[in-house]
Amino acid sequence: MKDKTQSLNLLIEESIKKNWDSMALSDMGGINYQYKDVAETIVKLHIMFKAAGVKKGDRVAICGKNSSNWVVVLLACLTSGVVAVPVLHEFKPDTVMHLVNHSGAKLLFVDAAIWENLDDRCMPDLVAAIFISEFGMPLSRSEKLTETRNNINECFGKEFPYDFTRDAVKYQEDEPEQLAIINYTSGSTGMSKGVMLPYRSLWSNIRYCLDNIDYLHAGDGIVNMLPLAHLYGMTIESLHPFCQGCHLNFLTKLPSPKVILKAFEEVKPKLIISVPLILEKIIRSKVFPMLEKPLMKVLLHIPYVDDRLLAKVKENLLQAFGGNVREVIIGGAPLNPDVEKFLYRIEFPVTVGYGMTECGPLLTYAPATEAKPHTVGRMMDRMECRIDSPDPAQIPGNIWVKGPNVMQGYYKNRKATEEVMPDNSGWMNTGDMGVIDEDGFLTIMGRSKTMILGPSGQNIYPEEIEAKLNNLPYVAESLIIDNHGELEALVYPDLEVLAKEKIDREKTDKIMHENLETLNQELPSYSKVKKLKIMSEEFEKTPKRSIKRFLYQP
**Mean pLDDT on 81-85:** 98
Closest CA to 189 of 462, 491, 529: 462
d(CA 304, CA 321): 26
Query: Could you tell me what percentage of the chain is helix, strand and coil, using 3-state DSSP and rounding each to the nearest 5?
Result: 40, 20, 40
pTM of the model: 0.84
Strands 475-483 and 486-493: antiparallel
Q: Backbone dihedral region of 446: left (phi > 0), alpha (psi from -120 to 50 degrees) or beta?
A: left
CA dist., res. 183 & res. 246, Å (int): 25
448: confidence class by pLDDT, cuts 50, 70, 90: low
- Sequence-distant (6+) residues with CB within 8 A of 330 are 274, 275, 276, 279, 350, 351, 352, 353
d(CA 155, CA 40) in angstroms, rounded, equals 12
Q: State the pLDDT at residue 234.
A: 96
Backbone phi, psi, residue 256, to 5°: -80, 160
CATH number of 452-552: 3.30.300.30
Q: Does residue 323 have a pLDDT over 90?
A: yes
Res. 406 pLDDT band, cuts 50 70 90? very high
φ and ψ at residue 309, rounded to 5 degrees = -65, -45
Angle subtended at Cα 278 by Cα 276 and Cα 279, rounded to the nearest 5 degrees: 65
- The rounded distance, in Å, linking the Cα atoms of 92 and 89 is 8
pLDDT beyond 50 at 189: no
Confidence (pLDDT) at 62: 98
CB under 8 Å to 58, separation ≥6 — which residues? 82, 83, 106
Q: pLDDT tens, 470-495?
A: 989 999 999 999 887 789 999 999 99
Burial of 119 (0-12, 13-18, 19+ CB in 10 A): exposed
What pLDDT was estimated at residue 188? 39
Instruction: Enumerate the domain spans of the chain.
Output: 4-19+31-196, 452-552
The answer to whether the peptide bond before residue 361 is cis (omega within 30 degrees of 0) is: yes
Residue 279 pLDDT grade (very low, low, confident, very high; cuts 50, 70, 90): confident
Sequence length of the chain is 554
Report, as an integer, the average pLDDT of 508-521.
94
Q: How far apart are CA 197 and CA 176, in angstroms?
A: 10
Contact 420, 428 (CB under 8 A): yes
DSSP code, position 121: G
444 close to 426: Cβ distance less than 8 angstroms: no
Look at residue 305 and tell me whether its pLDDT is greater than 70.
no
Residue bearing the bigger pLDDT, 91 or 50: 50
Q: Are 466 and 276 in contact (CB under 8 A)?
A: no
Helix (H), strand (E), coil (C) string for 287-339: CHHHHCCHHHHHHCCCHHHHHHHHHHHHHHHHHHCCCCCCEEEECCCCCCHHH
CATH topology of domain 4-19+31-196: Rossmann fold (3.40.50)
Candidate from 243-252, 299-308, 398-407, 544-553 with smallest mean pLDDT: 299-308
| Nearest alpha carbon to residue 85 among 193, 182, 173, 16 | 182
Mean pLDDT of the chain: 90
